[in-house]
Amino acid sequence: MSTTEIVKEAESRHDFALIANWIQPQSKVLDLGCGNGSLLSFLREKLGVKGYGVDKDDDNVLACIGHGVNVIQMDLEAGLAGFDSLSFDYVILSQTLQAMVNTEGVLREMLRVGKQGIITFPNFGYWRHRIQLMAGHMPVSDNIPHQWYNTPNLHLCTIDDFEALCDKMNIRITDRIVINEGNTVSFMPNLFGSLAIYRFEQAAWPVSY
């Protein structure tokens, strides 16, 4: 698939468009778990961003190189020691959080190397997922497409779960958009939203007296 085709495919992704709305032109971006580089290609084409993708899969790394995306092959679980603190304007983790073993460590590293973090993840609390669980089955949907026996997902969470973790880690959520089938969900998002998109930053640590 050519770079033009990759960008065109990315343009059809509503979540990518929402992410782009939060990013300033010409900014520095680090895309963790970047896959084939489609998001970075899209942001580079539309906003002129500069940055790197990070992925551990051989095929994804080769795809990124083929699309002209700067990519580093590494395991996110090992940390981001190769990047200086606050060296990026934004660090993005798109639909990868649920596959992380050390969730808290990944979030800390995102906010160490980036001024702001952007995360998207499938909402396990979505009503269709709940019905499947009540019927005795692990949920399968557009955003959680794998069966229980071949899924890469380790830590599925709900919107409420993620916000509780941010509160525990003193992470300040600056923006949240919840969508379902491309439409924004405002009413009871933890029940009716299938995909959550967050922008966040490190809050000032409480002062000790």
Candidates 3.40.718.10, 3.40.1210.10, 2.60.40.3140, 3.40.50.150; CATH matching 3-202 = 3.40.50.150
| 172-194 mean pLDDT | 97
Backbone φ and ψ of 95, nearest 5°: 50, 40
- What tens digit of pLDDT does each residue of 12-22 get? 788 999 999 99
Q: Which residues contact 101 (CB under 8 A, 6 or more apart)?
A: 77, 154, 155
Region 127-139 average pLDDT: 96
Output the CA angle 202-198-179, nearest 5 degrees: 170
Over range 26-39, report the average pLDDT.
Answer: 96
pLDDT tens, position by position, 109-126 = 999 999 999 999 999 999
Query: What's the pTM?
Result: 0.91
Domain boundaries of the chain, sorted by first residue: 3-202
How many other C-beta atoms lie within 10 A of the C-beta of residue 62?
A: 13
Q: Are strands 88-94 and 28-32 parallel, antiparallel or unpaired?
A: parallel
Cα–Cα distance for residue pair 87/114, rounded to 1 Å: 6
**For residue 192, which amino acid is it?**
F
**Which of the four pLDDT bands, split at 50, 70 and 90, describes residue 3?**
low
CA-based Rg of the chain, rounded to a whole angstrom?
17
Q: Name the band, by pLDDT with cuts 50, 70 and 90, for residue 11.
A: confident
